[in-house]
Amino acid sequence: MSGQTPDPRQRIVAGAADMMRRRGLAAMSVRDLARHAHAPLGSTYHYFPGGKEQLATEAVQFAGDVVARILRRELAAGPVAGLRAFLALWRDVVTGSDFRAGCPVLAVSVEDDAAGDPAPPVVAAAEVFATWRSLLAESLRAHGVEPRDAGQLATLVVAAVEGAVVLCRATRDAGPLDDVAAQLDTLVGTAVRGA
């Protein structure tokens, strides 16, 4: 998700997403990030006057959009195809990083204990999770699954895949994603066929 892009602003955002999915938000500094994205520190602050919070928010949105684009494209072939693409994408992130990278959207969601309103990156994370869930739920409904079941099943897919990514990182093994893939494939396949 951090592929090189010619736009320097975009490259910094992609770099932030990559750092966050590896080590979380608290351990990330704008200085480290500028180095990571091969961008001068001054231009990083120029593009992101809101500093780390603005960067984290845009990085969450960026990662969310990359995944949503893939989901939208693959769901055109039906819920099972979309599910498989979603799982394959996360399996690539985890195994391609030797189990050192996960999901930046999850990362920002577990470091904020502020009272009252959530911080902007967490608001962005909630929106990303809601988008992924909606895409899956809409596809299930379009294939005849009853609305309540479609919504619950879509939540289960997003939650289980996010959780499995964490289990894979902790255990340094892709087994948890493979277990979850096998169970969800059957479940989504049965829901669509039974609809």
Q: How many residues bind its own copies (CB under 8 A)?
A: 51
Q: Which of 125, 136, 143, 144 binds its own copies (CB under 8 A)?
A: 125
Between the two ends of the chain, the Cα-to-Cα distance in Å is: 35
By CB under 8 A, residue 77 contacts its own copies: no
Of the candidates 32, 93, 26, 90, which has an alpha carbon nearest to the alpha carbon of residue 56? Answer: 26
Residue 163 burial (CB count, 10 A):
14
Question: Do residues 83 and 185 make contact, with C-beta atoms less than 8 angstroms apart?
Answer: yes
CA–chain centroid gap for 131, Å, is 11
Assigned token pair, 28: 């990330």
Q: Which of 118, 138, 139, 189 binds its own copies (CB under 8 A)?
A: 118
By CB under 8 A, residue 192 contacts its own copies: no
Q: Burial, 105: exposed, middle or buried (Cβ in 10 Å; 0-12, 13-18, 19+)?
A: buried
By CB under 8 A, residue 91 contacts its own copies: no
Part in contact with its own copies (CB under 8 A); list of ranges 8-16, 30-38, 77-85, 154-162: 154-162
Residue 182 burial (CB count, 10 A):
11
By CB under 8 A, residue 96 contacts its own copies: no
Among the residues of 37-146, which ranges form H helices?
41-47, 51-75, 79-96, 104-109, 120-142
Binding mask 9-48 for its own copies (x = CB under 8 A): -------------xxx-xx---------------------
Q: Please identify, using beta-carbon distances, which residue of 48 and 129 lies nearer to its own copies.
A: 129
CA distances from 111 to 14, 76, 118 (A): 20, 35, 11
By CB under 8 A, residue 155 contacts its own copies: yes
Touching its own copies, residues 159-178 (CB under 8 A): 159-164, 166-167, 169-172, 175-176
Site of interaction with its own copies (CB under 8 A): 22-24, 26-27, 98, 100-102, 105-107, 109-115, 118, 122, 125-126, 129-130, 151-153, 155-156, 158-164, 166-167, 169-172, 175-176, 179-180, 182-184, 187
